[in-house]
């Protein structure tokens, strides 16, 4: 029986990766790259697409490599211990805007973004795989997974809520603010990742294949539960990705900037914080909800229906700051569904890993969990890329100021762009939620 301290330690791993680095990359990077760093919409879209092609190769390779790691620290923990510093450092550099020309900035952004994806993979794939070797008890796996999600959402809540106030405290230009906050949050991510590696234990020994082989990769595509769950994972991250990537544009263009209510500054990060808090609370009750529903599959279906209904509802809210609390309410209600299904996804990956071990005779835990990380990055970043692409299609374009800096042309933000932003936050995620429901109905493991 694992101690509470170990569950907290495991939660710190996703507090660092999911609650800090990935949360900022999901919600702030699209707006940062176009409105602060100075990339064009086309450059930002291409950057994220190129990174995803990179991940298609690196994530499965990392999973296979992690499965075969043998060290005094275990199989998966050494990747957290030695990857913590590079993770925080590269994240900090990525939010720094160098004094380069357009070509130099493009090289800087592409190089560091790809490095960030590689280091994130090297840390997060082994982190997810830890769940498969810390315990063989299914209820305890659900508890670890629930702690993980609560850690991620609690830290995401703190990160997003504090962001505008920290920006105000730092002062100076937008570029200076993002650089300082990048260093600060990068340090927190390093500390959280190290703490996770030190506080967790590997109790089970993976059944390793004797030699490297392509067979585990081929076995994946014959593993029906894995195929369906990977598609579900991609869709859940598309669902979140569209909402987070477009939130900054929603406030910048549709609501004409930050909304101040009774002294509370509601900008795009604070707006999504309400959802983070809800996800944290309902992530904590997800194991009980699953027991009440009778299976993970049923619980997942109900959670996806909640996401579908309230995403559609958001589309019909008038596009005005006067309705900010109605918007907050719909974000909260949508996040009930996200909070319920998020812990289930990782617990279901553990079930798929157990199924694969039983069927094939050797462990492919790291490889299977790498698909979860790949789905996370693929769904989130492709949706961010599509947001930039769709805004360009709707008419948003760039111009150059008197100093030669690239910036969004205010005249290009027409009604069609505003409608596209509103739809990207509501109708696009609703379609994805419908796909999640359809796929979940075909998921065969009935635990």
What is the structure's pLDDT at 210? 47
Highest mean pLDDT among 47-51, 364-368, 439-443: 439-443
Place of tokens 């199989």: 75
Place of tokens 């937008």: 174
pLDDT at 181 over 90: yes
pLDDT one-digit tens code per residue, 243-299: 988 888 899 889 988 888 877 778 888 888 898 889 888 988 888 898 899 888 999
Both tokens of 336, joined, read 């009930």
What is the structure's pLDDT at 308? 97
- Higher pLDDT residue, 221 or 271? 271
Highest mean pLDDT among 108-112, 224-228, 381-385: 108-112
Place of tokens 């390793």: 208
Average pLDDT, the chain: 84
Average pLDDT of 132-155? 83
Average pLDDT of 383-394? 81
Q: Are 5 and 199 in contact (CB under 8 A)?
A: yes
pTM metric for this prediction: 0.69
Which segment of 85-94, 230-239, 375-384, 408-417 scores lowest on mean pLDDT? 375-384
Average pLDDT of 386-402? 76
Average pLDDT of 391-417? 74
- The fraction of the chain above a pLDDT of 70, given in percent, is 87
pLDDT one-digit tens code per residue, 199-217: 998 887 765 544 555 566 6
- The fraction of the chain above a pLDDT of 90, given in percent, is 34
pLDDT at 28 over 80: no
- Higher pLDDT residue, 86 or 124? 86
Average pLDDT of 220-230? 81
- Higher pLDDT residue, 29 or 180? 180
Place of tokens 């380069």: 100
């Amino acid at each position: 029986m694992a101690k509470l301290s170990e569950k907290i330690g495991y939660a710190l791993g996703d507090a660092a990766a999911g609650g800090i680095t990935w949360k900022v990359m999901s919600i702030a990077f699209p707006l940062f790259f176009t409105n602060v760093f100075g990339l064009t919409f086309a450059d930002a879209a291409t950057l994220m697409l190129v990174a995803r092609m990179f991940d298609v190769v690196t994530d499965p390779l990392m999973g296979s490599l992690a499965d075969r790691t043998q060290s005094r620290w275990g199989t998966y923990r050494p990747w957290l211990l030695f990857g913590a510093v590079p993770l925080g450092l590269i994240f900090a550099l990525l939010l720094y805007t160098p004094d380069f020309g357009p070509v130099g900035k493009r090289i800087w952004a592409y190089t560091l973004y790809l490095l960030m994806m590689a280091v994130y993979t090297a840390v997060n794939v082994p982190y997810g795989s830890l769940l498969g070797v810390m315990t063989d008890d299914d209820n305890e796996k659900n508890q670890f997974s629930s702690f993980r999600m609560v850690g991620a959402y609690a830290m995401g809540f703190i990160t997003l809520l504090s962001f505008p106030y920290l920006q105000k405290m730092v002062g100076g230009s937008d570029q200076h603010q993002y650089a300082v906050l990048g260093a600060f949050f990068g340090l927190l991510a390093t500390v959280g990742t190290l703490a996770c590696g030190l506080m967790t234990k590997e109790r089970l020994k993976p059944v390793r294949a004797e030699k490297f082989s392509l067979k585990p990769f081929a076995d994946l595509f014959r593993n029906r539960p894995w195929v369906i769950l990977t598609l579900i994972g991609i869709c859940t991250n598309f669902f979140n990705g569209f909402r987070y990537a477009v939130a900054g544009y929603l406030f910048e263009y549709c609501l004409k900037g930050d909304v101040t209510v009774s002294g509370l500054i509601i900008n795009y990060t604070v707006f999504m914080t309400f959802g983070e808090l809800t996800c944290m609370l309902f992530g904590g009750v997800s194991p009980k909800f699953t027991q009440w529903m009778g299976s993970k599959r049923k619980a997942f279906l109900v959670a996806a229906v909640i996401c579908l209904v309230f995403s559609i509802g958001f589309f019909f809210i008038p596009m005005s700051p006067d309705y900010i609390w109605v918007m907050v309410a719909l974000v909260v209600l949508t996040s009930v569904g996200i909070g319920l299904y998020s812990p289930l996804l990782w617990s279901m990956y553990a079930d798929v890993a157990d199924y694969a071990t039983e069927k094939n005779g050797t462990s492919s835990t790291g490889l299977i969990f790498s698909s979860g990380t790949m789905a996370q990055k693929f769904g989130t970043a492709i949706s961010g890329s599509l947001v930039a692409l769709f805004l360009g299609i709707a008419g948003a374009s760039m111009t150059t100021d008197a100093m030669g800096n690239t910036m969004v042309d205010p005249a290009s933000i027409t009604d069609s762009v505003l409608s596209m932003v509103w739809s990207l936050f509501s109708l696009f995620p609703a379609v994805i939620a419908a796909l999640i429901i359809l796929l979940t109905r075909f998921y065969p493991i009935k635990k």
